[in-house]
Structure 1
Amino acid sequence: MKKGFVFDLDGVITDTAKFHYLAWKDLADELGISIDLKFNEQLKGISRMDSLERILAYGNQADKYTEAEKEELATKKNTHYVELLQDLTPDDLLPGVKAFLDEANEKNIPCAIASASKNAPFILEKLAVREAFAAIVDPATLTKGKPDPEIFIRAAEAINITPAEAVGFEDAQAGLDGIKAAGMYAVGVYSGEELHGADVIVHELTDLSIDELLQK
């Protein structure tokens, strides 16, 4: 029996990938690095600093900046990203998410967010679903990012269940790898990226039955 749900944010609850891309592209342009949507696929599901490192390596600038300067660049990107998020509303929830969360709460199934995004609380407030989640893992408290299972193990602990009692939801391969490494049942949410290793793959949460998931 499963007892709780652990969700990634971007690509599962809402799609803010376009905002991430615009903010990263603007920063990359300033640095003289040209990135496109294909390259952006590499940035999904990983941390802000890891994303910056990949962009700098792609532009052959990996050794150009100090750690302090990299922190400033990442902060600059995030400031722009948050500005882009100001227009986010509940209408930006992905199909089926609100109904799924409502049913989970009605059935007293605890839900947690396991996202690399430090903006998760702000985004959930804008989407008007913050109260649906009993816990949000703070990525700043982690020692390793996805695909390491740490964030998913912490999310399960935060809602007082074991990883084996959790169902994890992810749209990125790095996240799915982390879910499986944690020992969770994995739901892959297809968002254009080919996914491997999921126990089930759906296009949206309306394709799932909560009662059937709990029996996994």
Structure 2
Amino acid sequence: MAEVRIVAEPRTEFGKGPARRTRRAGKVPAVVYGHGRNPVHISLPGHELMRALKTPNVLLSLDLDGERELVLPKAVQRDPIKGFLEHVDLVLVRLGEKVTVEIRVTLTGAAAPDTLVDQQLVTLAVEAEATHIPGGVDVSIEGLVVGQHITAADVALPEGATLVTDGSHIVVQGLAAPTAEQLDAELAEAEAEVGIEREATDEEQAAAAPAAEADGAADSGDGAQAQPPQS
């Protein structure tokens, strides 16, 4: 994985007020820690950092007061509504050091007809060198059939990466696709639970019509019966 070089500036003011001023200036408050060193508070250029974080597990090369530090994003805080970066925690790493990270699982290929693909894991935890973290892993589901599954141990990892996730965990499996009747029955059950009354379909109305006519005829016949004479 290529390093992304980014210039950092030290921060000497802390708290919500200074943090807001930092963000208004187009920068993001951050803290660097790890390897037993005291935390270092810095600010990073917002646009450059936003672009860098689009790469999962991006390795950042910080230029701080002429010193170069390698760091990995540990925690990223974003505004829940507008999505802009509020704060970033960065952990120090060294060349050759191994770290545990989550990498994304991407499914490729097409399952067999009438097979519902059920992906249980969207990421896998792996151990890799900090400077050689894989961007993700592809898992082929070509021809996957009902009852077949792929576990974490079955996934071919990139060279240099070691699986940390329990190998017995299912990554993806093939299930029987529900029929239209099953889906309709599940929907009707869910609607009944919340008190929604469904209108009868044309087919249901047509099927119920003969029975309704027969009931009507029976009621008419009963009404036409002679009444017993009054004494």
TM-score, structure 2 as length reference:
0.24
Q: Larger C-alpha radius of gyration, 1 or 2?
A: 2
TM-score, structure 1 as length reference:
0.25
Q: Which structure shows the higher strand fraction?
A: 2
Q: Which structure shows the higher helix fraction?
A: 1
